[in-house]
Amino acid sequence: MAHRSALGARCDGVGVRPSRAVRGRRWATMRRRAYGTSDADGTWREHASNAFTKLIDVARGQRDVVQAGAPALRDRAKEIDPREIDSAEIQELIGEMVRVMRARGVGLAAPQLGIRKRVIVLEDTEEGMSDSSAEELASQKRAPFACKVIINPTLERVGDASAIFFEGCLSVAGYRACVRRHLSVRCRGLGGDGKPVDFIATGWQARILQHELDHLDGVLYTDRMESRTFRRVDMLSEPLPGDHAEFGAGVVLGESVIRIERTMSDAESVEQRVKNSRKNRKGR
């Protein structure tokens, strides 16, 4: 979402062939491992020990973001076998996706790099929001959050409230349009290290999740947009068509505050149930 090959051997033990130790020691098989750890909400914490790996990957360059018309953007991406998450192929893909996202946007799906795999990354920072006014951020319910990596994600809406805002996409460069999205969703899947992910997202984070998950199903925001609002980025300040009075509210004027507050309350209730469920599983 727009905001503004593996090496043969690695020093960290990933992808290294079994080698005979010196002076008659036994054969040592290096185990695969993830390049970071994941929290229950998908937050991805990359291991500092991978700094050398990152330098090598940066030197090799990275893929370009594919544009509308590329077949990968219209195919349904394939699920990743959980047993392969800690492989060099998947871990390097995650690293590359995070770098591309941080350079150009707030979210990215693997198909945008031409890779038909069900993995998304997202992050929103204070720096990335610096061009928006406090009023805009409040209306969008937008707040910073740390990098998240989610593999094989699924979404479930929480409540009925929705809102319409402009969206852009790195794969539809230079254009924006208004899109209606749910204000709150529950996201489940696997983190970058294969651990279960289960959390509630609201506001702008929920919008980013819905946008990126669409990519995994071969859907672009242009398939969901209010077509009469489609425009170039340099035309965003132009007035909206007269029949779009709900822009940013998503519900009938006068009911919006009540319904949105009720939805957020529902989301908090579901989130608490999710947390309680995790505690119960740990206590068994």
Report the predicted TM-score, pTM, of the whole model to 2 decimal places: 0.75
pLDDT at position 32 is 62
Catalytic residues: 212
pLDDT at position 253 is 29
SS3 content of the chain, % helix, strand, coil (to 5): 35, 25, 40
CA distance 235 to 82: 44
pLDDT at position 213 is 98
CB of 184 within 8 A of CB of 267?
A: yes
pLDDT at position 145 is 97
CA distance 227 to 204: 21
* Per-run averaged pLDDT (10 residues), the chain, 284 residues: 47 37 40 79 81 56 90 98 96 95 94 98 94 91 97 97 94 96 97 97 98 98 95 90 59 33 45 57 56
pLDDT at position 62 is 73
> C-alpha 101: how far from its chain's center?
9
Neighbours of 230 (CB within 10 A): 15
CA distance 152 to 23: 45
pLDDT at position 45 is 86
Element of type H or E holding 175: strand 175-182
pLDDT at position 23 is 42
pLDDT at position 267 is 47
Of 12, 148, 33, nearest to 86 by C-alpha is 33
pLDDT at position 67 is 97
Domain 38-237+248-283 - what CATH class?
A: alpha beta
Of 252, 257, 270, 258, nearest to 157 by C-alpha is 270
